[in-house]
Chains A and B, each alone.
Chain A
Amino acid sequence: MTTAGEVAVIAWRSIRRTLRQPANAIVLVFPLMLMAVNSNGLKAATHLPGFPTDSFLSFFLPFTFIQGALFAASTAGTELGRDIDTGFLNRLALTPLRGSALLAGQLGGALAQTLIQALVYLGVGLAFGVRFAAGVPGMATLVLLALCIGAGFASAGIWMALRTGSGEAVQSQFPVLFFLLFISSMNLPRNLIEVHWFRVAATLNPVSYMIEGMRSLVIEGWNGEALALGFGLSIAFVLVAMTASTFALRKRMART
């Protein structure tokens, strides 16, 4: 079987099992709930001098994509951890499956989930009046960036799973990544954050630049610098996490 075929088989399983778990619906719904609450509760922020748009929903929508990507990654990592815990990885290790195909397949499953979520969030945003300054190509670019960010988080989830060998351990570590989301520019532009330490943290936090890359497509149009930072950091995240995962897999799947 070709590597591509193996990737497809592993991704197929990952998608199928994810879709069959009713509890995973929260992964889709929770970011929308948070968007509904924040876009109403924080819309007064649009009156701040220098706030880049008069629609908080437009400002906040990109964060929804990132949160969804993080949830999809958590699912991918948790399920791989469970596979290790239950011995399913050993079952796979006894087949001719290539390690690279296992990683890519797990990643593919997470990306399929991220894509479905992104399309739903995009549809909801448009239905509630969000207009993209970068037009339809901007929407496609936002979805592409969401997939890059999703790939980064999913790779981190896969790495955690391979390191710990436990679904529960992965679940317990994901709040650390979630914390990164909240100390970013998710609710306010960095230049409007008045608390010094928070502004510094948000400036140092790569997640801020991922959100700002997406946000630029909604409220600014085509901002080369914001997009370069968003895509660049996401791709770097994927490369670092996937390299770490490759080494962790070699140790975990120590077949001869």
Chain B
Amino acid sequence: MAAAHGIEAQSLVRVFKNVRAVQGIDLTVAPGEIYGFLGPNGAGKSTTVHMLTTLLPPTSGTASVAGFDVVKDGPKVRAAIGAALQEAALDPWLTGREHVRLQSALHGIRGREQAERADELLTRVGLTHAADRKVQTYSGGMKRRLDLALALVHRPTILFLDEPTTGLDPQSRSALWMEVARLAREDGVTVFLTTQYLEEADVLANRVGIIDHGRIVAEGTPDALKAQIGRPTVEAAPSQAAELGALAAVLERFGEQTEAAPGAVAVRLDGNGDLADVVRALDAEGLRVENLQLHAPSLDDVFLAKTGHRLEGDEQVEA
């Protein structure tokens, strides 16, 4: 199933009336790679996916998917890709099995092969027990898993997943991550995954592109991106609120102040000491702290450093 070509885009732009949703994106995704496209709501992630999956013509720029131009070779691109777009688009009145068979039929899979493929995919995503139930009885996680199965019906070499775990509980999210990772590892499927969850990008993606206001502001492996930010952050909250200023003065000896929780002070260590030095300095000044934390750089720090604001993960977890 491994593809010879991945995804390439050059100066991809999409304008809706007066809004430039995507403002010149360049990206390359290697075959077999999981690429995490990380950004807040409205950053241009879904618009990019719609262009790469041929559902939306670009205003300008070029892109090829699986070696085919997304504008000139739309049908060939669609034959090579699978996609689970935002919000699992399912018919509440059909069963899971009927969905798979409908999708298979439209991809030209017929007869016994269609029935076998339905069984195989429903087993793979753990929906065998619910295969003959109407989708209106499914939970959010089950719908997402069925959505993934439908994207795989015709054995695509490239898979687009647009915020596949938004709204899912941690258990369903983790199960979906495992399946996506398995697809890339065992089947060699190239995965283009959009997400607004830092952890998802960190856990799943080989490389991450951070998008904000329609532009990619940083790109690389999660470790490389974090390394760009460099040193860890120390955050401390005094036992007595009145000592916040004194605490800040001590911490500033070790680095520049950065964003902290209310009632706390944080500094990004500049190399003039480590956590032990900070503790000794606080002790020497007679300052007692209620809370002291060392934060390794996260993708959120990368996002903050590159965009000037934090990634808003306004998630709503299903009950």
**Contacts from A to B (Cβ < 8 Å):** 1, 5-6, 9, 13, 16-17, 20-21, 83, 86-88, 90-97, 254-256
Contact = CB atoms under 8 A, between A and B. Distances in A.
A21 B93 contact: yes
Contacts of A256: 54, 57, 70-72, 74, 77
A254 B105 contact: no
B228 interface: no
A254 B98 contact: no
Count class of interface residues, chain B: 20 to 34
B89 A16 contact: no
A94 B105 contact: no
Contacts of B150: 91
Nearest to A89: B89
Contacts of B55: 90, 93-94, 254-255
Interface in B60-90: 70-72, 74-75, 77-79, 81, 83, 85-87, 89-90
A1 to B, nearest CB: 5
Given A13-B102, A17-B93, A20-B93, A86 B53 contact: no
Contacts of A90: 55, 85, 89
Contact of A94 (B53, B56, B94): B53
A146 to B, nearest CB: 25
Contacts of B89: 86-88, 90-91
Nearest to B150: A91
B108 interface: yes
Nearest to B107: A95
Q: Which of A20, A87, A88, A255 has the most CB of B within 10 A?
A: A255
Contacts of A254: 55-57
Contacts of B98: 13, 16
17 contacts: A1-B106, A9-B102, A13-B94, A13-B102, A16-B98, A17-B93, A20-B134, A86-B89, A92-B106, A93-B55, A94-B78, A96-B75, A96-B78, A96-B108, A256-B70, A256-B74, A256-B77
Interface in B82-127: 83, 85-87, 89-91, 93-94, 98, 102-103, 105-108, 110
Tell me the dominant secondary structure on chain B's binding face: loop
A96 B107 contact: yes
Interface in B208-236: none
A13 B78 contact: no
Given A16-B98, A88-B89, A1 B70 contact: no
Given A21-B93, A94-B83, A95-B106, 7 more contacts: A1-B110, A9-B102, A13-B98, A16-B94, A94-B81, A95-B107, A255-B74
Q: Which of A90, A93, A94, A96 has the most CB of B within 10 A?
A: A94
B51 to A, nearest CB: 9
A169 B150 CA distance: 29
B136 to A, nearest CB: 10
B102 A86 contact: no
Contacts of B134: 20
A67 to B, nearest CB: 24
A96 B106 contact: yes
A9 B71 contact: no
Contacts of B103: 91, 95
B93 A5 contact: no
B121 to A, nearest CB: 15
A21 B83 CA distance: 28
A9 B79 contact: no
Instruction: Enumerate the 3 nearest inter-chain pairs by beta-carbon distance, A residue then B residue, closest first.
Output: A87-B89, A256-B74, A95-B106
Contact of B106 (A6, A21, A86, A87): A6
A254 B110 CA distance: 28
A41 B206 CA distance: 75
A19 to B, nearest CB: 9
Contacts of B78: 94-96, 255
A13 B91 contact: yes
A99 to B, nearest CB: 12
A89 to B, nearest CB: 8
Contacts of A5: 105
Nearest to B57: A256
A20 B70 CA distance: 38
A255 B91 contact: no
Contacts of A83: 91
Contacts of B107: 95-96
A9 B54 CA distance: 23
A45 to B, nearest CB: 42
A81 B57 CA distance: 22
Contacts of A21: 93
A256 B87 CA distance: 22
Nearest to A5: B105
A2 to B, nearest CB: 10
Contacts of A13: 91, 94, 98, 102
B178 to A, nearest CB: 24
Q: Which of B56, B81, B89 has the most CB of A within 10 A?
A: B89
A5 B107 CA distance: 11
A75 to B, nearest CB: 12
Q: Which of A17, A97, A256 has the most CB of B within 10 A?
A: A256
Contact of B54 (A20, A88, A255): A255
Nearest to A12: B102
